[in-house]
Structure formats: structure tokens, C-alpha cells
A and B are shown apart, each in its own frame.
Chain A
Amino acid sequence: MYLYLPVALTSINILVPVGLGLAVGLLSGLFGVGGGFLMTPLLIMFGIPSTVAAATDSNQIVAASTSGTYAHWKVGNVDFKMGMYLLAGGFLGGVVGVQAIKLLHAMGNADFVIKMTYVLMLGIVGVYMFIESLQSMKKKKTTVVEEAGEEKESAVGRFLKSLPLQTRFEKSGITHSIFVPIVLGVFVGVLAAIMGVGGGFLMVPIMVYMLRMPMHVVVGTSLFQILFTCIEVTFLQAYTNHSVDFVLAVLLLLGSTIGAQVGAVFGRKLKADQLKILLAGIVLVVTVKIIFELTLTPSLLISQAGGH
């Protein structure tokens, strides 16, 4: 059955957005990512104009991440305090990033910088997570549990401990200076604004490897943080670009809210390393896809203006 989309000005088989929503929502609930890096290109492939695809996806993520945050909060896997600090940093970073994009456009090589940042970030994150989780899976097999209490005191670790305003994050069981999550939030916010994505795939590894939070709390906290980012983005897109398609968003969220619940339940049955390696695999597949897109001759040499 087909439905007409009033803002995208096109007609779509309703099974397409509902199915896409279900699949991407599942990933949200499992890994704590918004899934914009998958959803937006898929929507464009199905004939949705690029600006509408990006804006409507952020509207849909509001629903999916609400559903996912709720599911993770019920089992105590959301660190609200950490989420708020990251959010504060992310907000600042977003403001800086938008200015950076303006500057890049004025310099004329915006697309090159955006694409390269995207490929490098995805590539680095994917490879690092993949190798790290593979190693820790092997280690656990051979030496069982004995190194559970092991704490490597690196130079970076000592530096982080020396910062002022140390505070305890109960849910995650860690202590950090409040500047650590704020600065990391700024970093992700800047990159996310430049790349035009939500940044979940960057935030998750940063929480795991730099903040040393437990994987299951990372997923819930990341979703909580994404929820607020996407509320802001949806409003700005609707208000300034008129590019949110309400009907498409509703079709997507029919699938994604349910997918997020299923993902959250399923994620609890997986070990942290299994979750990490799966996410690394998806990130690497997307990296390879983008590299192909960059190197193969496109079928159309012109495309709609606006959006990335």
C-alpha cells in the first residue's frame, strides 16, 4: 500500500519506512546509536529528497530513543548525570561545529573535509573497536576472570585523575572530573555537526574507552543523550528548513519504537564484547560502502542541492 508524503512530495510503499524503522530501531536499542548514518542514505535511495531524509530521520530518532531510553532506564542502565554533562558539552560543540561548516563552505572545500572526516572517524572507530573487542574476547577465553580487578595506570589516566572537580558517577561506578565528559561532549558535538550526523557511533566508543563506562550503561546513556540532541535538531529543521515530513516520521517510528524495545531486550542477553564487536562490524561495513561511493563513478553526476 502506498502513502503520499506531503513534505517530501513523493509516494512511498508503507512497508519500506516501517521495515527500515524496525531494522534501524533494533540497532538503536542494541548499541545506543541513532542510526542516522544508515537511515538517511537508505531513505534517499528510496526517493526521499536528501534534506527531508535527514530532518525526518532526526524526528524519528526522537521516538526510537525515547522508547530505547525507557527500556534501558527500567533496568537501571541510564547514567543521567553523565548524560547531562555530555549533553552540555555536545550542545557547545554543535554551536562551534555549525560555525566551522559555514567557514568550510566559504572556503569552498566543505564536501571534501566532511567526507574525509566521516571516512576517517568511521574507519578509526570501527577498526579500534573491532581489534580491542577481539583481543578481550580471546583474553577471557585463556585467562578466565583473574584480571577483573586489573587497573592500568597510564599517563593519561593519571592526568585525568589530577584534574579539578572530580565527581562520582554512581550508575557507571566511575569517578571523573566534570571537565572530562564536557570536553569529550564538545569534541563529538563539533564532529557530528560537521558530518551532519547525530554522533552516536562516536559517543559510544568514547564512553566505553575514554570514560571507561560499562557497555550496558553506555547504550542507555547514549540513547538518553541522543534523544535531546534530536529534539533540538528536529525543531531547527522544521523551523528553518521546513524539511520534516510528519507522515514519513510516523511511518518510521511505527517500526523504530518497537525495534528499540526488542533491541534493548536482546542486548541484555549479549555480552559487552559481543555488542562491541557487532557494532564495530556495522561501522566498518558503512565505512567500506562510503569508500566505494567515493571511488566508483556515480550514475548521476548531479543531485539535489541542500543537506550533505
Chain B
Amino acid sequence: MKNFVLRIADWGIAMIAALAFIFILVFSGNASAMLTARANHDHITIDFFYHGSTVSIRGESDPNVDLVIKITAPEEHQVLKQKGKVGGLLWMNVGQLKFEHTPNFYAVYSTKKLDEMLGKEEMEKYVIGYPALEKHVAVTPAANEEEKAKWFNEFVKYKEASNVYVSSSGKISTTAKADGRQEYYILTDWPYQAAPGDYLVTVYAVKNGKVVEQAEAKVNVEQAGLVKTLATMAKNSAAFYGILSIGIALGAGFGVGLVFRKGGGSH
């Protein structure tokens, strides 16, 4: 269980502050203070007893801003099977759909409902929320916008079913600090379905329908120990792995057969 205890983040606040400062220069004219973001579990290790984890993100912002926290995996190209009706009666796979520029993990949390705090253009610019993500991805084949919307909705349903897509508002808690700044905090469930890899946490400060500041943090998910050894072996020494799997199965079958002969006797 020792491996399971997750190492606490060791981010230099100064570094993030510097990063945030650059964002201020780039994105904002009038913000006076700096937005910070820190993930407490930035390194999640997967061992045999891994059943998901939690990730909390905290930081400071100006007091009078709304916040959006987005966690994403790198964008990729995904091919999925498409079900349709054949002959007006039978449901079966009728072809493949390609989804381009789609992250395998996409979670958005916000202090208010997204469309109450951000304009459409702003959401699209930063790819915040499902409608913006829909605009961002390319779906082929899709003859028109209507068809694209249909399949994108199905795609989101599929991803939500395995807990790797989330969109919810109101989960971020904020508290005013003595120095006039605001502290925010969110604790999110990290699903075990999220594949090993690097994840990017982006925090957006929103004011008057616009993103005024941005800060980033990282979460890395990695397999460890025997889980890693087996996963690597399955990929890199496939022949040996196959023979080993067969050997163990044969051994187990014979072993149990022998045990039953000793135990069963009279049959």
C-alpha cells in the first residue's frame, strides 16, 4: 500500500507565479493580481491495487473573478465504431467514425454555469465546455453540422460512461483571504479509467464574460512496479508474453486436474 500513497506536489510557487505573470502580460491589460494554480497529486502511480484517486487543485485569484478549471489529456486522433440501423430493423456496426483533435480526457469545472459567465467566442477560443470542444474537433464522415452534432453528442455520452469526460459547475469552493485575495479549492475524483500519461490543468479567471488570466499545473499518471513490467512486456516482448500466458494457463489447468484427482478419488 505504500506505493499507493501519492506523492504530494512539489511545485515551486515562484515558478508558477512567473508563468502566471507571463500570461498576464499576454492576455490581460487590467488585472492587478496574479492567478496561481497547484495540483496536490501531480504524480499518480498505478499499482495492482489502484482504483482511481483524487486530485485537488488550489490557488489564489483576484476576489471578484469567476473561475474555470479544465483538465485535459493531449489531443489525438480516435477511431470508433458507428452503430446504425440496417434495413430499418437491425442495429449493428455500419462503419467507422474518425474524431480528430480530441483529448481522451476532458474535465471542466466552473464556479458558475459556463454560459452564464463566458461568451460563446471566448469559450471557443479556449475550448471550454462541450459546445466549444464540438467546434474544435473534426468528425468524419459527417455530411453536415447536424450530423456532426449528433455524433459528437454520442461521443460525449460514450466518454462520460467511462468517466473520462466531465462537465460540472458549482464544485469549486472559494474563500476570501485577509489580504483581500481569494483562495479557491476543488477536490475531484480521478477515475481509474484515465490512461497513463500527462494531463494538463488550466485555470481560467473570468471577468465580464472574458478570460482575464490563466495558470497551469500538471498531473502525471504512470504505471509502476509489476503492472508496468507486465504492460511493457505485452508490448515489447509479445512472443515471450504470449508463450508465458499459455504456459501458465496449461500449468494451472493440469495443476487443478491433479488436485481434483487426489481429492475426488471415487468418481
Which residues on A are within 8 Å of B, measured CB to CB? Answer: 2-4, 6-7, 9-11, 47, 59-60, 62-71, 74-75, 108, 111-112, 115, 231, 234-235, 237-240, 242, 244-247, 249-250, 253-254, 257-258, 260-261, 265, 268, 293-298, 300-305
Complex Cα–Cα for A293 and B49 (A): 34
**A2, A62, A66, A268: the one within 8 Å of B267 (CB):** A268
B249 touches A60 (CB 8 A): yes
B249 touches A2 (CB 8 A): no
The answer to the question of B235 belonging to the interface, with a C-beta cut-off of 8 Å to chain A, is: yes
Which residues on A sit within 8 Å (CB–CB) of B155? 302
Complex Cα–Cα for A211 and B264 (A): 32
The answer to the question of B27 belonging to the interface, with a C-beta cut-off of 8 Å to chain A, is: no
B151 touches A302 (CB 8 A): yes
The answer to the question of B131 belonging to the interface, with a C-beta cut-off of 8 Å to chain A, is: no
Which residues on A sit within 8 Å (CB–CB) of B90? 112, 115, 294-295
Which residues on B sit within 8 Å (CB–CB) of A298? 83, 91
Report the minimal beta-carbon distance from B133 to chain A, rounded to whole angstroms.
Answer: 16
A252, closest chain B residue (CB): B249
Report the minimal beta-carbon distance from B211 to chain A, rounded to whole angstroms.
Answer: 32
**A2, A249, A254, A260: the one within 8 Å of B245 (CB):** A249
Report the minimal beta-carbon distance from A54 to chain B, rounded to whole angstroms.
Answer: 14
Which residues on B are within 8 Å of A, measured CB to CB? Answer: 46-52, 79-84, 86, 89-97, 151, 154-155, 157-158, 161-162, 192-193, 195-196, 223, 227-228, 230-231, 234-235, 238-239, 241-246, 248-250, 252-257, 260-261, 264, 267
**B46, B84, B95, B154: the one within 8 Å of A4 (CB):** B46
Q: Which residue, of A10, A238, A293, A302, has the highest number of chain B Cβ atoms within 10 A?
A: A302
Complex Cα–Cα for A240 and B157 (A): 31
Complex Cα–Cα for A2 and B231 (A): 18
Which residues on A sit within 8 Å (CB–CB) of B93? 111, 303
B192 touches A10 (CB 8 A): yes
Which residues on A sit within 8 Å (CB–CB) of B255? 257
Complex Cα–Cα for A142 and B2 (A): 70
Complex Cα–Cα for A234 and B244 (A): 11
Complex Cα–Cα for A7 and B238 (A): 12
Contacts A242-B235, A268-B267, A302-B82 given; 17 further ones with Cβ under 8 A? A2-B51, A7-B230, A11-B50, A11-B51, A47-B193, A63-B252, A66-B249, A66-B257, A67-B254, A67-B257, A238-B245, A239-B242, A244-B242, A246-B244, A254-B252, A300-B161, A305-B79
